């Protein structure tokens, strides 16, 4: 049976991503931290983990990338979730009753304009779904929360408003992690991390291995090495599967130029919400 671990309470956006990607029949395993997701998969308590790695508004989630470097799990697929924030409240609450709105600080920031226009006081909480769970258990007059519609269904709250995020294109990219690598797909993407030696032109030489072979890079970002102050690693995504001949040659060249290379995984490239293909459907 497929069991997918995620960070947060039931009703979290990560759980919504799981259901959209795997289907409703999958079993989900809530975890307290991102690190617990990786441990659940390594220990066999989950077959996969759903890990958010970057948001179109807030950028990369650094803790997730650090864990990908530290653990020997494989990225088996990616998924893009269009984040649709909803305003939730106990049954019988009206918009006129609302005075405070509770949620995770990032969700509050993503709905800042909506709240300010109505004069509502933001109330930071540890988790979006957690705010819904806590409000359902302990209703407070004048208090609403920002969470998913899935959380409303889970905890029996009313949806007072939908799509209250300030930016309609608010999207989160997830990695699905597991023990087994994904086979080549018609359209694949590869993620890896590498470091370069301290010499002039080292990064240029590494990236040149891809440029010379006309391989398109879709992400390049540096992060400090946690065990070596003032040293950096580079997270890189490129189009193609590592088993493709041209990609394999590029990786061989990268190994010769870099101080170290770790392949995080090759996986089917996902369609982002709002693409022409999605609109046509």
> Which amino acids are annotated catalytic?
172, 174
- Whether the CB-CB separation of 69 and 191 falls below 8 Å is answered with no
Cα–Cα distance, 156 to 143 (Å, whole number): 15
Cα torsion 173, 18, 226, 215: sign: negative
Largest CA distance in the chain: 66
Task: Tell me the three state secondary structure of residue 184.
Answer: coil
CA 30 centroid distance within chain? 15
Task: Tell me the three state secondary structure of residue 46.
Answer: coil
Helical residues (DSSP H) of 120-201, grouped into ranges: 128-137, 149-155
- Whether the CB-CB separation of 53 and 173 falls below 8 Å is answered with yes
Cα–Cα distance, 11 to 13 (Å, whole number): 7
Angle at 229 between CA 224 and CA 234, to 5 degrees: 25
The Cβ-side half-sphere exposure at 168, using a 13 Å CA radius, reads 1
- Whether the CB-CB separation of 87 and 164 falls below 8 Å is answered with yes
Cα–Cα distance, 51 to 75 (Å, whole number): 10
Angle at 213 between CA 211 and CA 215, to 5 degrees: 65
Fill in the DSSP letter of residue 148: -
First CA to last CA distance, the chain = 31
């Amino acid at each position: 049976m497929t069991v997918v671990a995620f960070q947060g309470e039931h009703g979290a956006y990560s759980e919504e991503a799981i259901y959209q990607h795997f289907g409703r029949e999958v079993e989900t395993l809530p975890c307290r931290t991102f690190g617990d997701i990786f441990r659940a998969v390594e220990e066999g308590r989950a077959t996969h983990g759903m890990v958010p790695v970057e948001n179109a508004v807030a950028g990369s989630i650094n803790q997730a990338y650090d864990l990908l470097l530290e653990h020997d799990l494989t990225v088996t697929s990616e998924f893009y979730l269009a984040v649709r924030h909803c305003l939730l409240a106990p049954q019988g609450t009206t918009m006129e009753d609302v005075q405070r709105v509770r949620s995770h600080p990032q969700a509050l920031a993503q709905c800042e304009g909506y709240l300010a226009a109505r004069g509502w006081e933001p109330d930071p909480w540890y988790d979006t779904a957690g705010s819904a769970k806590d409000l359902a258990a302990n209703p407070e007059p004048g208090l609403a929360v920002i969470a998913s519609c899935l959380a409303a269904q889970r905890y029996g709250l009313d949806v007072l408003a939908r799509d209250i995020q300030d930016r309609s294109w608010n999207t989160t990219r997830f990695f699905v992690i597991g023990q087994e690598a994904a086979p080549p797909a018609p359209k694949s993407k590869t993620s890896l991390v590498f470091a370069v030696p301290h010499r002039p032109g080292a990064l240029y030489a590494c990236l040149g291995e891809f440029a010379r072979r006309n391989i398109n890079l879709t992400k390049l970002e540096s992060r400090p090495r946690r065990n070596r102050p003032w040293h950096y690693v580079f997270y890189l995504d490129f189009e193609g599967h590592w088993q493709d001949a041209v990609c394999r040659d590029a990786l061989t060249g990268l190994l010769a130029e870099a101080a170290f290379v770790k392949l995080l995984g090759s996986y089917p490239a996902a369609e982002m919400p709002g693409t022409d293909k999605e609109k046509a459907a």
